[in-house]
Structure formats: C-alpha cells, structure tokens
C-alpha cells in the first residue's frame, strides 16, 4: 500500500493526473478541494466554515485540515488501498504533522509527484476548466469537452465552472501556492521521495516517467 502525494500549482493537472492513475494503480483519490466542495454543497457546519476560504482562494487553518485528514484516513477505503493525496499537504506544518500521523499507523509518504507548469499556462487552463458537480471529473472548454454540452460523460452530473476559477482568485491561489506550498516540495525533496515532471501541453508525454517512478516505489515497498 502506497501513499503518494500530488503537488502542483492550481491548474497544474493534479485532479486530471489522479483521475488517470487511481484507476491504473487501484488507489483511492483523496482531493481535499473536492472534499471541501462536497461539504459546502451539503451545507454542513464544515462546509459553512470552508466556503469563504475557497471563494477567496485562501487556505483553511492547518489544525482544521489536520482534523479532517485524521478522520478521513481512518476510513476503510484509505486503510485497504493506497492513497493518492491531491492538494494535501499544502503547508510545511501540514506536511510535518502528516508525517507524524502516518508514522502512528506505521506508514509514510512513499512518493511526492510535482507537476511543474508555467504560470501563463495555468491562467489560461483554469478559466477554461469545467468540472462535474457529481463525480468531480475534469473537462475543459477547449479540447476536453463532455460529449453532451454540460453533462458528465461518466455520471450524467452537471458540468459547470468552479466559482474560484476567476482571474482574480486564480492569482490569489497562485500566490498562496508560492508562499505556502513551495516549502512542502523542498521538504519531500530532502526526504528523497520527490519526482518533478513538466506535463506541458499533454499529460501523456510524462506518463512513462511517472509509471517507471511508481513501479520503483512499489518495488521498494515489497
């Protein structure tokens, strides 16, 4: 069982990559952004608390995130399969607390995959992105549209634009990433578990390198 972290700026393709590899590797995809958006949709207490953070592109407090994750990784699916963490940990404090949390379960972060994409690419991608409100599948309005306009190919849910995908909020999210999340990349670099790839225009160009890396992680684990 592997714990793999996906790190990258907003719009770098974390959700897209997780959608591909979770099937291939038989892993659970755990996106903290999707988890929070589903709480907002339900109107739960956590959702009401989280809404203003997501709308403005600011991070939730570390203690709140750690509490959510402590509960989430106790669920049976996370204990049986490997987990692809998408959007977590996002600050150095979260990364250090997560290391301690996994150690209590006799686990660790086996690999951290960083999708390194230029800022101008991110801005154009995010304004074109569309997501399914039902299953979270990712589309874009340019070259990855659902077969039927506004309807998810996978679950039939509504395909919409995310409210935090406006120019102003995207810029705020990028600044937050550079300030809070770059130290997380250095943290995993020091642990020797980091792979950096640049997916450019197509994720498929880096898929062989990611597959070889993941196989190496599995071999090391066995």
Which partner in Mg ion, ligand AP5, none is near 8 (CB below 5 to 8 A by kind)? ligand AP5
Q: Looking at beta carbons only, is 68 or 76 nearer to Mg ion?
A: 68
Q: Footprint of ligand AP5 on this chain (CB under 6 A)?
A: 8, 10-16, 32-33, 36, 53-54, 57-60, 65, 87-88, 90, 94, 125, 128-129, 138, 140, 144, 173, 199, 201-203
**Strands, DSSP E only, in the chain?**
3-8, 28-31, 83-86, 111-115, 129-132, 138-140, 159-160, 194-197
Asked if 30 and 72 count as a contact pair (C-beta separation under 8 A), the reply is yes
Contact 159, 132 (CB under 8 A): yes
Angle between helices 32-42 and 62-72 (to 10 degrees): 90
Cα 123 from Cα 121, distance rounded (Å): 6
Stretch of residues binding Mg ion (CB under 5 A), selected from 8-16, 123-131, 144-152, 179-187: 8-16
Does 220 qualify as catalytic in the annotation? no
Q: Which of 22, 37, 125, 173 is catalytic?
A: 173
Q: Taking CB under 5 A as the rule, does residue 136 contact Mg ion?
A: no
Q: Which two tokens stand for residue 138?
A: 């990712």
Between 175 and 220, whose beta carbon lies closer to ligand AP5?
175
Cα 203 from Cα 205, distance rounded (Å): 5
> Known catalytic residue: 173?
yes
Q: Binding marks (x or -) toward Mg ion, 9..48, rule CB under 5 A?
A: ------x---------------------------------
Least separation, in Å, of the C-beta of 211 and ligand AP5?
Answer: 16
Residue with tokens 């409100």: 133
- Dist. CA 35–CA 173, nearest whole Å: 18
Does residue 14 carry a catalytic annotation? yes
Binding site for Mg ion (CB under 5 A): 15
Active site (catalytic) residues? 14, 90, 129, 162, 173
């Amino acid at each position: 069982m592997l714990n793999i972290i996906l790190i990258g700026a907003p719009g770098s393709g974390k959700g897209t990559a997780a959608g591909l590899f979770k099937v291939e590797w038989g892993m659970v995809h755990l996106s903290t952004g999707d988890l929070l958006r589903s709480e907002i949709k339900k109107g739960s207490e956590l959702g009401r608390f989280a809404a203003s953070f997501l709308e403005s592109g600011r991070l939730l407090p570390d203690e709140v995130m750690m509490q959510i994750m402590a509960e989430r990784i106790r669920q049976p699916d996370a204990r049986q399969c490997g987990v692809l963490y998408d959007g977590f940990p996002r600050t150095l404090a979260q990364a250090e607390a997560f290391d301690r949390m996994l150690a209590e379960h006799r686990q660790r972060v086996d690999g951290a995959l960083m999708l390194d994409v230029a800022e101008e690419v991110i801005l154009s991608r995010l304004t074109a992105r569309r997501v399914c409100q039902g299953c979270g599948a990712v589309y874009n309005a340019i070259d990855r549209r659902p077969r039927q306009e506004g309807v998810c190919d996978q679950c039939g849910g509504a395909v919409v634009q995310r409210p935090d995908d406006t120019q102003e909020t995207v810029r705020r999210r990028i600044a937050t990433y550079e300030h809070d999340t770059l130290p997380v990349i250095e943290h995993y670099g020091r642990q020797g578990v980091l792979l950096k790839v640049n997916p450019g225009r197509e994720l498929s160009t880096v898929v062989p390198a990611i597959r070889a890396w993941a196989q190496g992680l599995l071999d090391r684990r066995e």
